[in-house]
Chain A
C-alpha cells in the first residue's frame, strides 16, 4: 500500500468507528425476543432418569408462555416472547461446556437454564460465571455445586440432603399418631455418585429428628448388581427402615434381590422411585407396593398452576410421564419473574432481582437462600422448592406428606 493512502484510510476507519459508537439507539428499541439457552442430556447415560420428556415439557412451556404474550419488560414498555435454544449435550460435561460457550458467544443467549445432573451442572456453571450470565439450575441440588461462591448461579431445588428431613418429619408424625409402631433403627444404602451420596447424607443426618438410630450405612459403587453381602448382614441387624439413596435402576436390583431372599424391613424408602410410575411397572406390584419415595409433583394449589398444567396438557402426556416438570417450570418461572421484577434485560440487574425474589408459586413462597449451612457446607443460591413424600399404592403415586397436599394415608407393606 502506498504511504499516501494510509492517512486518509485511517481517517475513514476512525469515522466509521466514531459513527458506530455514537449511534446510540434510543432505549426503547427492544430486541426481538429473549433468548434462553440450555444444554440437556437428551441422549447418553444421564438422560435415563430425565431425558427427552424434559425437552418436550420445556418446549411446551415456551409455547404457552409466548401465547400469553411473553414477558413484560418495563424498559421497552412491551411484552417480549421467549426463545429457548436447547442443545443435546449427550451426557458429556466436556460437550456441555462447549455448548454453553456457543450459547454465550455465538447464539448470544441472554440467560441460561442449567443442564441436568450435577456433574454436568458443576462444569457448565463455570461458563455462566465467566461471562456473567444468570443460570438457573433446575435439578442439580448438590451442596458442592453451590458452595463455590459463584455469583451467577442459583438452583431452585431444595438441597438433596434435606430430603431426609422431610421424610423423617413424616415418620415422626406417623409414630406420634400411632399409625405405625415405634420404630428404632434405620439402615442406609448410598450409591457413590454426588447426588445420591447427598441424599444418603441426609438420611443419616436427620434420622435423629424421629429419634431413630442409624445402625448401618453402606456405600455401594454405581450400578451394583449384587447386594447379597449387604442383605445377609442386615438380615441379622433387622433394621426397621431401609433408606435406599440410589438411582432407580440400582434400587430395583436391590428391591428385587431383597424380595427374592426374603428380606422384608418394616418400611422401604427409596427416594428416586416415585418420580414416575414406571418403577412400579418394572419391578412388579409384589415388590413395589408400599414403597415410599419422593416426588416433585403434587396437587398444586397456589401460584400459576394454570400455566404449569396447560403446558403439561400440551405435551399430551401425564405429569408423571414427564419426570420433573415442576423443576423445569420453576426454573423458567424464576427467570421470567426476575426479568419482570428488574424491568430490564440487563443481566446483572436480573440476577440481583432473582436473588431477592419472593413470590407465590406452585409449592408456596419461592425464595433463595444464601450463606445457608447444609451438612457442613455453606451454600449460596439454593432454592426452597420442597419435595413431597409419596407412596406407591395400587400402582399409583400418592402424596403422603406434607399433610396439606396429602392424597392418601400411609399403608403398611
Chain B
C-alpha cells in the first residue's frame, strides 16, 4: 500500500514536470498558430540565465528576477517583431511552415551560443541545475520529495492562471477569438498586433519561468532544448490542443503510467511505455484526450 502511494505521488509529480514543459507551448500555438520549435531552447535559456545570475555571479534573487524579467521581455519583443510579425505579414497561409523554419534556425543558433558561451566563460559543463534541496516531507514513515511537489504546485498554479486569463479576461478572450475566427476578430475592432504581442510576451515569460522551476529537480544541458520541444509537442497532443487544464491531466496520466510501468517492468521501459500510451490514446481519441481546436 505504501509502495502504491509513493508511486502515485511520484507519478503525479512527474506529471507536473511534463505539464511544466508544455503548457506555454500550447498557449502560443493555440492562439497565434505559431509552431515555436525554439520553445525548448527558450526553456533552457531561462534555466541557463538563472544559473549564471544566481550561481555564477551569485546575485541575490531579488536582483535576478527583475533582470530575468527584463531580459525575457526584451527577447520576446525581439522574437515577436523579428519573426512573428514578419511571418504574419508574409501571409497567414505560410505561418506554419515559416514559423517552423525560422524557429528551427533560431533554436540552433541559441543553443550553440549558450553551450559554447557557457563552456568557454563559465564552466566546462553547460548543464544547469539549482542546488535547492528542500527537506523531504515525512508522511507515515514515507519520505516524499517536496522539491517535486513544489514544482507540481507551481505548474498547476501557472496553468490555472493562464486558463483563467484566457477564459475570463478581455485580452485572453481576444486571443481565443483571434485563433477561432481571424476575420471576425478584426471586424469587432480588436488589434491583432497588441493581442498577439501580449500572448508572445506572456508565453515567453512563462516558458522561462518553467525552465527555472524545472532545474530545481532535473538538470538540463544547453542542447536539451530540441528534445524538450518534441516532448512538449507530444504532451499537448495527448492533452489535445486548446485545453490548458487538459495538459495537467495528460501530464499526470503520462507520469503515473511511466512510474508504475517502470516499477513493474523495469525503468528501461519507461520511455517505451510512455510512447506506446501516447500512440494508443491517439488511436482512440484522434484529437487528444480533451482536444477542442483542430490544427
Instruction: Answer yes or no: are A and B bound together in one complex.
Output: yes
Question: Closest chain B residue to A250 by CB distance?
Answer: B219
Contact call B7/A51, Cβ cutoff below 8 A: no
* A226 close to B (CB within 8 Å): yes
- Tell whether, in the assembled complex, residue A48 and residue B267 are in contact, meaning their CB atoms are under 8 Å apart: no
**Residues of B close to A52: CB separation below 8 A:** 116, 119-120, 124
The stretch from A6-14, A175-183, A229-237, A361-369 touching chain B is A229-237
- Which A residues between 3 and 35 are near B, CB-CB below 8 angstroms? none
Q: How far is the CA of A232 from the CA of B262 in the complex (A)?
A: 11
- Contact of A321 with B268 in the complex, beta carbons under 8 Å: no
Please judge, given known A-B contacts A43-B116, A260-B145, whether A50 and B133 are in contact too, CB under 8 Å.
no
B95 at interface (Cβ–Cβ under 8 A)? no
Which residues of chain B from 262 to 282 have a CB within 8 Å of any chain A CB?
262-263, 266-268, 270-271
Q: Which of B115, B132, B227 has the most CB of A within 10 A?
A: B115
B218 and A225 contact, CB distance less than 8 A? yes
Interface of chain B residues 239 through 275 with chain A (CB within 8 A):
255, 258-260, 262-263, 266-268, 270-271
A51 and B136 contact, CB distance less than 8 A: no
Q: Within the assembled complex, what's the spacing in Å between the Cα atoms of A259 and B123?
A: 25
Tell yes or no: A108 within 8 A of B by CB.
no
Cβ contact within 8 Å between B119 and A47: yes
The answer to whether B125 and A48 touch across the interface, beta carbons within 8 angstroms, is yes
Interface residues of A in 255-274 (CB under 8 A from B): 256-257, 259-263
Q: Which residue of A lies closest to B119 (CB)?
A: A52
Query: Is A229 in contact with B262, judged by CB distance below 8 angstroms?
Result: yes
Give Cα A50–Cα B271 distance, bound, in whole angstroms: 27
Question: Chain B residues near A226 (CB, 8 Å)?
Answer: 10, 13-14, 255, 258-259, 262, 270
For B287, the chain A residues whose CB sits under 8 A away are none
> Is the CB–CB distance between A260 and B148 below 8 Å?
yes
Measured CB to CB, the nearest residue on chain A to B118 is A52
Q: State A228–B261 Cα separation when bound (angstroms).
A: 11
The reply to whether A48 and B127 form a contact with Cβ atoms under 8 Å apart is yes
Q: Specify which chain A residues have a CB less than 8 angstroms from the CB of B232 in the assembled complex.
A: none
User: Is A323 engaged at the interface, CB distance under 8 Å to the other chain?
Assistant: yes
Q: Is B3 an interface residue (CB 8 A)?
A: yes
Stretch in contact with the other chain, from A163-171, A282-290, A306-314 = A282-290
Contact of B266 among A218, A263, A285, A321 (CB under 8 A): A218
CB distance from B222 to the nearest CB of A (A): 7
A-contact 0/1 string along B127-146, CB 8 Å cutoff: 11111111010100001111
Taking CB atoms, residues of chain A closer than 8 Å to B14 are 225-226, 228
Bound complex: CA A285 to CA B127 (Å) = 17
Is B55 an interface residue, CB under 8 A from the partner? yes
Complex interface: chain B residues within 8 A of A285 (CB): 131
Q: Which of A205-249 contact B (CB under 8 A)?
A: 218-221, 223-230, 232-233, 248-249
Distance to closest chain A CB from B12 (angstroms): 11
B267 and A229 form a contact (CB under 8 A)? yes
Return B19 CB to nearest CB of chain A, in Å: 13
Q: Which residues of A contact B217 (CB under 8 A)?
A: 253, 256-257
The verdict on B112 contacting chain A, using a C-beta distance below 8 Å, is yes
CA distance A44 to B179 in the complex (A): 36
Q: Name the distance in Å between A74's Cβ and chain B's nearest Cβ.
A: 38
Q: Does B147 contact A (CB under 8 A)?
A: yes
Q: Given A226-B14, A278-B123, is A283 in contact with B268 using a C-beta cutoff of 8 Å? A: no
User: What's the least CB distance linking B261 to chain A, in Å?
Assistant: 8
Q: Is A276 an interface residue (CB 8 A)?
A: yes
> A282 and B131: CB pair below 8 A?
yes
Name, among A45, A48, A221, A278, the residue most crowded by chain B CB atoms within 10 Å (CB to CB).
Answer: A48
Which A residues lie within 8 Å of B125 (CB)? 48-49, 248, 276, 278-279, 323
Question: What residues of A have a CB within 8 angstroms of the CB of B34 in the complex?
Answer: none
- The docked-state distance in angstroms from the alpha carbon of A202 to that of B121 is 35
**B218, A253: Cβ atoms under 8 Å?**
yes
Q: Residue among B127, B263, B267 with the most chain A CB within 10 A?
A: B267
Bound Cα distance from A47 to B111, whole angstroms: 12
Using A260-B133, A281-B131 as known contacts, say yes or no to A219 and B147 having CB atoms under 8 A apart: no
Determine if A322 is an interface residue (Cβ-Cβ < 8 Å). yes
Are the CB atoms of A221 and B115 closer together than 8 Å?
no
Given contacts A219-B268, A220-B268, A224-B267, contact A283 B123 (CB under 8 A): no
Q: Would you give the 0/1 interface string for B1-23, flagging 1 where the beta carbon is closer than 8 Å to chain A?
A: 00100110011011001000000
Interface check B192, CB cutoff 8 A: no
- Is the Cβ of A230 less than 8 Å from the Cβ of B267? yes
- Please give me the 9 A-B residue pairs with the lowest Cβ-Cβ distance, nearest first: A284-B131, A262-B143, A228-B10, A260-B145, A229-B262, A229-B263, A282-B129, A52-B119, A219-B268
Pairs A–B under 8 Å by Cβ, sample size 30:
A44-B223, A45-B223, A47-B115, A48-B222, A50-B124, A52-B119, A192-B268, A220-B267, A221-B271, A224-B267, A225-B218, A226-B259, A226-B262, A228-B262, A229-B10, A233-B263, A248-B125, A249-B127, A249-B220, A252-B219, A253-B217, A259-B136, A260-B143, A260-B147, A261-B144, A262-B143, A276-B125, A278-B124, A282-B127, A322-B124
